[in-house]
Amino acid sequence: MSTDRTAKSVYTSADLESTGFDPIKDLGFPGEFPFTRGIQPTMYRGRLWTMRQYAGMGDAEESNRRYKFLLEHGTAGLSVAFDLPTQIGYDSDDPMSLGEVGKVGVAIDSIEDMERLFDGIPLDKISTSMTINATASILLALYVAVAKRTGAEVKKLSGTVQNDILKEYIARGTYIYPIRHAMRIITDMFAWANQEIPDWNTISISGYHMREAGSTAAQEVAFTLANGITYVQAAIDAGLDIDQFAPRLSFFFNAHNNFFEEVAKFRCARRVWAHLMRDHFRAKSPRSWMLRFHTQTAGSTLTAQQPENNIVRTAIQALSAVLGGTQSLHTNGYDEALALPTEEAARIALRTQQIIASESGVAQTVDPFAGSYYIESLTAEIEQQVKTYLDRIEAIGGMLRAIEQGWVQQEIQNAAYSYQRAVDSGEATVVGVNRFTREDEPGIPIQRINEDLERKQVERLQALRQRRDRLRWQSALDRVKDHARSGQNLMPTILEAVESYATVGEIAAAMREVFGEYQESVVI
């Protein structure tokens, strides 16, 4: 659902006065606290956002070809989609993986798969984002191990692992371990990466999936920032210096359909986070106060009916992200309601960003909406809703307790139900679905995954198991378990394990043995 602003057509200074808006305190200048107008003084006049197209399909070779295709067509950063078995810690030959290998992303079982995935791509010269959460520690270790093998300078690696496990319990479901053990793994990654790969973003705190599940714009910001508060506090409790790790935090938001609301949402998120970091957590560095974020256009808004309409939806959503001050952006393929995007759809999605950057003129001014009565009042209105939610979460006892009680999930479900009723009744219009429909729906070419890829992936994996040094492999897995039990940082042992040809599923199983598995409670 969106904030209802339809009753009014004219906004004046009185609308700002009613919110207590202070142009100095609430707006300021670009690149200065509270960063409402953006985190850089010159924003896109100095440097464009990173055009980072999300891709992954089938096996490593197939995905490698798509990455090289995207790089040839002008994408500036890679973004890896992993298949479901990889996401939840099962190898491709596990019975749990049957029929899912390579279907919604690339299958990665071992260091050899990761080598094939990035073959011919210089890892210390390209920024890579990996959408991975429960097994993020293992996939990051694999990436570092491959970089070392190729002679890349590890300390120069740049990129992001999503690594936001809390939203998995809220909206997505690809969790493995009980919440508090999962939080421990995340703080281990913060500490290790700060020393070993200082330019790496070790978490991308994600509201995207909560918005896809049906949250409102205000809920997306509130629940994302509440998760961020939880991660920051966990890192502080683990003994980390906030001004050491906070500048490497990043966020991930959805760009939805209501154009002005989305612009205001992004501005609000920056302002609220800046105050939280400076005033609540007492961070001293201005870099710790900045909310840096990646944006993806809204997959849930794409329709299988008249899929070419999705090109327009994506362009509008992408423009809202740019005018909202995003640091990087993925634009969805128009055919994604039907299948993984074809090369043509991926090219059009990338060209959408390039046209916005090169032809629209929006990158020539830092913050064209600053001072708009409508935008500023809408930003303040969303901010008040966000603060109300944050106060409620604090009263419950924090985000972990709110998730464990199912309160956050219920709030999102209520919002999703309300919006779906509006669509079903015709109160909310979805072009091509409940209005402006057509009876003849011509088909379009869609991406199909070769069913033989699963068999080949399994064969490669089983061959690797036969030729590896079993003593070295077993010893490395035992050390993973020892560190899990003792509380020592897990990352050095996970890196040792992947270099010993232990697989994603085997390392995840070693930690399952110590930590157990999360069991979702049923809220009635």
Which sequence spans correspond to the domains of the chain? Answer: 29-425
Give me the amino acid identity at 417: Y
pLDDT: which is higher, 133 or 23: 133
Q: How far is CA 204 from CA 133, 198, 375, in A?
A: 10, 15, 26
- Reading the block at residue 468, the tokens are 């590896």
Helix axes 491-499, 470-486, angle to 10 degrees: 170
How many Å apart are CA 327 and CA 164, to the nearest integer?
Answer: 18
How many Å apart are CA 470 and CA 397, to the nearest integer?
Answer: 47
What's the mean pLDDT in 10-20? 82
332-368 pLDDT tens trace? 999 999 988 999 999 999 999 999 999 999 999 999 9
Residue 11's closest CA among 441, 372, 477?
372
- Reading the block at residue 324, the tokens are 């909202």
- Reading the block at residue 305, the tokens are 């009916």
How many Å apart are CA 361 and CA 245, to the nearest integer?
Answer: 36
How many Å apart are CA 249 and CA 294, to the nearest integer?
Answer: 11
pLDDT: which is higher, 21 or 112: 112
Residue-level pLDDT at 523: 54
How many Å apart are CA 480 and CA 131, to the nearest integer?
Answer: 23
Give me the amino acid identity at 241: D
Residue-level pLDDT at 53: 81
Residue-level pLDDT at 186: 97
80 DSSP 8-state letter: E
Residue-level pLDDT at 508: 98
What's the mean pLDDT in 402-417? 96
Give me the amino acid identity at 402: A
How many Å apart are CA 295 and CA 55, to the nearest integer?
Answer: 15
Q: Taking 50 as the threshold, does the pLDDT of residue 1 lie above it?
A: no
Residue-level pLDDT at 181: 97
Rounded to the nearest 5°, which phi and psi values hold at 285?
A: -85, 130
pLDDT tier for residue 12 given thresholds of 50, 70 and 90: confident
Q: Which residues pair with 52 in a beta bridge?
A: 77
Residue-level pLDDT at 320: 98
Q: Taking 80 as the threshold, does the pLDDT of residue 272 lie above it?
A: yes
First to last CA, the chain: 24
Beta-strand pair 127-131/77-81? parallel
Burial 410-437 (b: 16+ CB within 10 A, else e): ebbbebbeebeebeeeeebebebebeee
The CATH class for the domain spanning 29-425 reads alpha beta
Residue-level pLDDT at 16: 83
Q: What is the mean pLDDT of the chain?
A: 94
Residue-level pLDDT at 212: 98
Residue-level pLDDT at 522: 60
Q: How far is CA 224 from CA 39, 161, 210, 216, 291, in A?
A: 19, 16, 8, 12, 12
Q: Taking 50 as the threshold, does the pLDDT of residue 268 lie above it?
A: yes
Residue-level pLDDT at 77: 83
Give me the amino acid identity at 81: A
Lowest mean pLDDT among 51-60, 466-475, 479-488: 51-60
User: What 3-state DSSP class applies to 483?
Assistant: helix
What's the mean pLDDT in 397-415? 96
Beta-strand pair 77-81/200-201? unpaired
Residue-level pLDDT at 15: 83
Instruction: Tell me if 497 sits within 8 A of 195, measured CB to CB.
Output: no
Q: Which residues pair with 159 in a beta bridge?
A: 128, 200
Q: Taking 90 as the threshold, does the pLDDT of residue 425 lie above it?
A: yes
160-219 pLDDT tens trace? 999 999 999 999 999 999 999 999 999 999 999 999 999 999 999 999 999 999 999 999
Give the torsion through C-alpha atoms of 356, 362, 366, 371, to 10 deg.
Answer: -130
